[in-house]
Amino acid sequence: MKTARRSVLPRPSRAMLTWFRLYLRWYVPRHFRAVRLAHAARFEQAAREETGALVVALNHPSWWDPLTCMLVAHALMPEHDHYGPMDAVEAERYGILRRMGLFPVEQHSPRGAAQFLRASQQIFSRPRSVLWMTPQGAFTDVRPRPLTFRAGLSVLAARLPRVTVLPLAVEYAFWNERLPEALVNCGAPEIFSATDESRTVESVDARLAGALTAASDELMQMSVARNAADFETILEGGRGMGSIYSVWQSLAHRRGRHTQT
């Protein structure tokens, strides 16, 4: 009797990622004033001291999140391989993403849960590998509280011998320019270990929700303050109020000068 062969998760293609980042450095500045990152040192230290599995857990406010994450992943941990689950249906449509670390998972099914666990085991067996997840499981506005997660991340963190979860808050906000800001905040890492006898799925879920809430609330305050100095700018777009408004300002200025003479 033949046994089914388990598929091997391909490693991300460095060449493909380099090409795609070049594309993002052209594409993203046409839609955002800047991509800004706060408190990067919180993640960089966790990556340097990495023991066990490493997971980035972020909120999921927008279609832009995967592209933002690719830029942030390279800025924070350029030497690591980065992976993330995606809807199996979408994976069929965007097959190129599988060459950049995304892997298909069926939604809301036992088979999907098994796919996710098998892929995670492969990822964590490889040195310098990071799993990125959106535990809310769907597009969600940044404002509702409390945060609620689907079971995947909490189950994973409760089963592994040791895992460090890095909470990452993302927000897109308009400040003083025509284009919006992509704002990212690294929260304080949470470490889960098998030596913690009180570790359960429920306790893990509560800690993770609290950590991501804290990172999101902190980012919300920085967003309201509109102080770019609170962030490191990892990608900058165009300045100004737009070409049409600039022309209007120029004409108004000239008209004012003629009126005064």
Q: What is the pLDDT of residues 28-83, one digit of tens each?
A: 999 999 999 999 999 988 887 767 899 999 999 999 999 999 999 999 999 999 99
**Cβ atoms within 10 Å, residue 145:** 9
| 55 closest CA partner among 65, 67, 46 | 46
Convert the pLDDT of each residue in 167-212 to its tens digit.
999 999 999 999 999 999 999 999 999 999 889 999 999 999 999 9
What 98-101 contacts at long range (C-beta under 8 Å, 24+ apart), as own/partner pairs, is 98/10, 99/10, 99/12, 99/13, 99/16, 100/12, 100/13, 100/16, 100/17, 100/20, 100/70, 101/12, 101/17
As given in the structure block, the two tokens for residue 198 are: 């009180």
2: confidence class by pLDDT, cuts 50, 70, 90: very low
247: confidence class by pLDDT, cuts 50, 70, 90: low
Contact 55, 133 (CB under 8 A): yes
Mean pLDDT of 112-138: 95
- Averaged pLDDT score across all residues of the chain: 90
As given in the structure block, the two tokens for residue 70 are: 């690719």
**Looking at the chain, how many residues does it have?**
261
Examine the pLDDT at 105 and tell me if it is beyond 60. yes
The CA–CA distances, whole Å, from 255 to 22, 154, 243, 245, 258 equal: 43, 64, 18, 15, 5
Q: Biggest alpha carbon distance in the chain?
A: 97
| 97 closest CA partner among 5, 10, 7 | 10
Convert the pLDDT of each residue in 213-234 to its tens digit.
999 999 999 999 999 999 999 9
- Phi, psi values for residue 157, rounded to 5°: -70, -25
The pLDDT assigned to 48 comes to 77
Domains of the chain: 14-260 (3.40.1130)
